[in-house]
């Protein structure tokens, strides 16, 4: 079997990620990627999260985060920002998620607050 080109591999990675998120109960799908570089998230369906999906062997994570930051609606929607996030994996490795520390802290604090309410 020949090598898969990068565009096909990217599309396959987006479908794989959307399906995996579906297993966790989230209704996600590929974004509208038909004309390229349109600023849409690669995978949509997680409110507040702008997903940049990278299925590559060598990833410059800082370039990928910059792309997610440029493409997110973070600045246009101040009360409901999309947190730029990179979901990435290479062959024979699990999916990883990269985001800015301040966004992670905000999500973690929300999780902590929910746990505290459960215990009351």
Query: What's the whole-number average pLDDT of the chain?
Result: 87
Six-digit token pair at 47? 């409110």
Six-digit token pair at 44? 């949509």
Look at residue 1 in the predicted model and tell me its pLDDT.
Answer: 44
Rounded to two decimals, the pTM is 0.84
| pLDDT 10s digits, 45-88 | 999 999 999 999 999 999 999 999 998 876 565 566 789 999 99
Look at residue 59 in the predicted model and tell me its pLDDT.
Answer: 96
- What dihedral angle (degrees, nearest 10) is formed by the CA atoms of 7, 10, 16, 22? -110
Identify the sign of the CA torsion 99, 104, 106, 112.
positive
CATH of domain 6-119: 3.40.1350
Mean pLDDT of 12-23: 96
Q: Please say whether the beta carbons of 64 and 87 come within 8 A.
A: no
Helix, coil or strand: residue 71: helix
């Amino acid at each position: 079997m020949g090598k898969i080109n990068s565009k096909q591999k990217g599309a396959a990675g987006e479908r794989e990620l959307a399906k995996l998120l579906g297993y966790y109960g989230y209704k996600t799908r590929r974004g509208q990627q038909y004309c390229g570089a349109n600023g849409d998230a690669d995978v949509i369906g997680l409110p507040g999260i702008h997903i940049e999906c990278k299925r590559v062997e060598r990833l410059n994570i800082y370039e990928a985060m910059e792309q997610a930051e440029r493409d997110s609606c973070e600045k246009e929607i101040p009360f409901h920002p999309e947190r730029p996030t990179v979901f990435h994996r290479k062959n024979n490795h699990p999916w990883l998620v990269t985001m800015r520390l301040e966004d992670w802290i905000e999500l973690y604090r929300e999780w902590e607050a929910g746990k505290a309410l459960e215990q009351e």
